[in-house]
Amino acid sequence: MPTLDEVKEQICEIGRRVYNRGFVAANEGNLSMRLNDREVVCTPSIFCKGFMTPDDLCLVDMEGNQLAGKRKRTSEVLMHLAIMKARPEITSVVHCHPPHATAFALAKEPIPAGLIPEVEVFLGEVPTAPYAPPGVPALGESIVPFVHKANVVIMGNHGTVSFDTDLERAYWWTEILDNYCKMLIHAHQLGGAHRLTKAEALGLVTEKHRWGMYDPRVDAKYADVDPREAPLFRESWAAAGLAARAFPVDANNDPSITIRQSELEAIIERAVTRAIEKLK
C-alpha cells in the first residue's frame, strides 16, 4: 500500500487531470483512494479538483465518518465506499461529469457495443444506472448491481463513475469512455456508426481474456450471445429508461433510419393529402 503522502499526491494529480480535461467544472466531481483496509482518502466538498493540495484532502473510515482533514469530506464518498465494499479489491474511485459521456446519460441512450477495438478491450460493455439523488446511500445502491461486470458506469442524468485497483487506471476508464462517446456523437452526425461483425466482436472478447483481462462475456452462460447486442446489461435498460434511438441494436448491420416525430407527422400529412387529392 502507498503511504498517506503518496495517496494524497496521486489524488491531487488526477484532480488536475479531470479538471484540465473538462470532465468537471467549478467544484464538481470527487475522487477517493483506499489507504488501508479501514481508511480512505477522499476529496473535500465544494472545492475545485484542479487546484487541490494534499492539505485539502480528507480521511474517512469505511462508513464515511471523517477522521481527519480541515475541510468537510465530499457527501458522495458514500458511493465510493459502497463500490469498495462490493468489490474489496477496488482501491480507487473517480466520479465526474465528462460532457460527452454525460450527454448519453441525459439522452438516456445506452452506450453501444461492438464498434471500436480499444473500447471492447479496455471497457467492455458499459452499463447505465438508474438516476439516484447525489450524496445519499441510494446513489451507491444504484451503482452496486453493475460493479462486478464493469469498471465504469454511466450514472443516469448525472455523470460517470469509474474504479479499479489503482487511481490512474480508474481515471483511464473515464477518459476512454468520454473519448468514445465523443466519437459516437461525431459518427452520428455523419450518418451513423457501423458495427463490427459478430465474429470480429467475439474475437476481441476472446483476445481480451487471453491477455489476462477478465470480461464477463467469456463466461459459459454468454457463449452463444452476440457481444454487439449488449448481453450483460440490456435487461437493465428499462429500469434506467434507456432506448437505443441514435445507435439501434442491430446485430445484422441492416440499415436503420431514425427520424423525428415532427418529420414523421409531416410525411403522414403529405401522404394523406395526396391520397385525398387522388380521390377527388
Q: What is the average pLDDT score of the chain?
A: 93
Model pLDDT, residue 254: 44
Q: Identify the bridge partners of residue 32 per DSSP, sorted by sequence position.
A: 42, 93
**pTM of the predicted structure, to 2 decimals:** 0.88
List pLDDT tens digits, range 185-216: 999 999 999 999 999 999 999 888 888 888 99
Domain boundary assignment for the chain: 1-280
Does the pLDDT at position 165 exceed 80? yes
158, 102 in Cβ contact below 8 A?
A: yes
Report residue 35's pLDDT band, with 50, 70 and 90 as the boundaries: very high
Cβ contacts of 76 within 8 Å, gap of 6 or more: 30, 95, 134, 135, 139
Backbone φ, ψ for residue 27 (5° rounding): -105, 20
Is 167 within 8 Å of 11 (Cβ atoms)? yes
- Which three cell numbers, joined as nine digits, stand for 253? 448491420
pLDDT at 250 over 70: no
- Topology, domain 1-280: L-fuculose-1-phosphate Aldolase (3.40.225)
Pairing verdict, β 152-155 and 128-129: parallel
Cell numbers describing residue 111? 452506450
Q: How many CB atoms lie within 10 A of CB 89?
A: 9
Average pLDDT of span 219-227? 89
Instruction: Taking residues 265-274, report their average pLDDT.
Output: 75
In this prediction, residues 129-148 reach a mean pLDDT of 97
Q: Which 3 state secondary structure label does DSSP give 258? A: coil
Predicted pLDDT of residue 278:
66
Q: Which has the closest alpha carbon to 227: 236, 216, 237, 239?
A: 216
Q: What is the pLDDT of residues 103-112, one digit of tens each?
A: 999 999 999 9
pLDDT > 70? residue 252: no
Determine the pLDDT at residue 212: 87
- Three-class SS state of 159: strand
Which backbone phi and psi does 152 adopt, to 5 degrees? -150, 140
Work out the widest C-alpha separation in the chain, in whole angstroms.
Answer: 86
Mean pLDDT within 245-268: 66
Residue scoring higher pLDDT (245 or 223): 245
Residues 6+ apart with CB under 8 A from 225: 217, 231
Q: How far is CA 203 from the centre of its chain?
A: 23
